[in-house]
């Protein structure tokens, strides 16, 4: 099997970001925020996510990607869009969401197309600072590791921990080398005027009431109050191609 060159991998990664970062409408962005809310509810109710629930209150922020898609080719690609919320260290309150896209490339046999709900828990100031840049490459600009899932598991020391509800999706180095890019144009569309990720996450200078349900769900999970499994089951099932 042929391996990819760095240039090939870079071009594929850029292509994935371009495809996932097409223009978005306000309604489409609200759908993404609503999907992120449902993801938080499901993570809050999942019995395998004990460590996530117990420790998210210590996180600097969370990047929620409701659908991270992975293709079924020799040069596999993963891509998706998500929202980032930062936690205020004094009040514990969660910011309004900032928009991001993610693209990555993996080499090797892939089995069909897969979709996963993914939450990236940002554990260090370095990890949060990296998200304020135009783009960040996981595993290069910041350290990333798979988050512990299930009873008795321990967390690796990393800037960012990745949690997925699709079993086996993060085997090996699937997200190592992925590029996460801020979508300033999407932020402007959602909040109705030009605004930077720093304004949203740190200065907290914007509001959109349609994101309050997401922020409240994060507060409940971080506060140890999460939805019962029956509630999570009512959320639409994750779709895959």
CA-CA distance, 105 to 179, in Å (whole number)?
9
Domain of residue 156: give its range: 6-223
Structural domain contains residue 239: no
118, 119, 116: which is closest to 239 by C-alpha?
Answer: 116
Structural domain contains residue 233: no
Structural domain contains residue 235: no
Residues in the chain with pLDDT values less than 70: 1-23, 70-78, 104-114, 150-153, 155, 167-174, 226-241
Split into its structural domains, the chain has a count of: 1
Structural domain contains residue 45: yes
Structural domain contains residue 234: no
Structural domain contains residue 163: yes
Structural domain contains residue 93: yes
Q: What are phi and psi of 176, to 5 degrees?
A: -65, 125
| The pLDDT value given to residue 182 | 95
Beta bridge partners of 136: 180
Is beta strand 144-146 parallel, antiparallel or unpaired with respect to 135-137? unpaired
CA-CA distance, 223 to 241, in Å (whole number)?
35
CA-CA distance, 135 to 145, in Å (whole number)?
19
Is beta strand 144-146 parallel, antiparallel or unpaired with respect to 160-164? parallel
167: three-class secondary structure by DSSP: coil
| The pLDDT value given to residue 81 | 92
Structural domain contains residue 238: no
H or E element that contains 79:
strand 75-86
| The pLDDT value given to residue 153 | 66
């Amino acid at each position: 099997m042929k391996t990819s060159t760095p240039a090939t991998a870079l071009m594929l990664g850029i292509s994935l970001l371009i495809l996932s970062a097409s223009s978005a409408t306000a309604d489409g962005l609200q759908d993404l925020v609503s999907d992120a809310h449902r993801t938080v509810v499901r993570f809050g109710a999942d019995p395998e996510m004990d460590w996530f629930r117990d420790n998210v209150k210590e996180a600097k922020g969370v990047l929620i990607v409701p659908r991270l898609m992975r293709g079924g080719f020799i040069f596999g690609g993963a891509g998706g869009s998500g929202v980032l919320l930062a936690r205020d260290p004094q009040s514990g309150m969660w910011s309004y969401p900032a928009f991001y896209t993610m693209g990555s490339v993996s080499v090797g046999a892939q089995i069909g197309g897969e979709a996963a709900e993914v939450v990236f828990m940002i554990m260090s100031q370095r990890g949060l600072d990296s998200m304020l840049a135009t783009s960040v490459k996981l595993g290069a600009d910041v350290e990333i590791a798979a988050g512990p899932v299930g009873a008795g598991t321990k967390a690796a020391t990393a800037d960012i921990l990745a949690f997925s509800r699709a079993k086996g999706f993060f085997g090996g180095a699937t997200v190592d080398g992925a590029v996460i890019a801020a979508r300033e144009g999407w932020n402007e569309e959602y909040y109705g005027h030009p605004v930077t990720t720093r304004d949203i996450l740190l200065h907290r200078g914007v509001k959109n009431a349609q994101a309050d349900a997401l922020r409240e769900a994060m507060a409940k999970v971080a506060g140890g109050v999460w939805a019962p499994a029956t509630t999570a089951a009512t959320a639409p099932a994750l779709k895959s191609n």
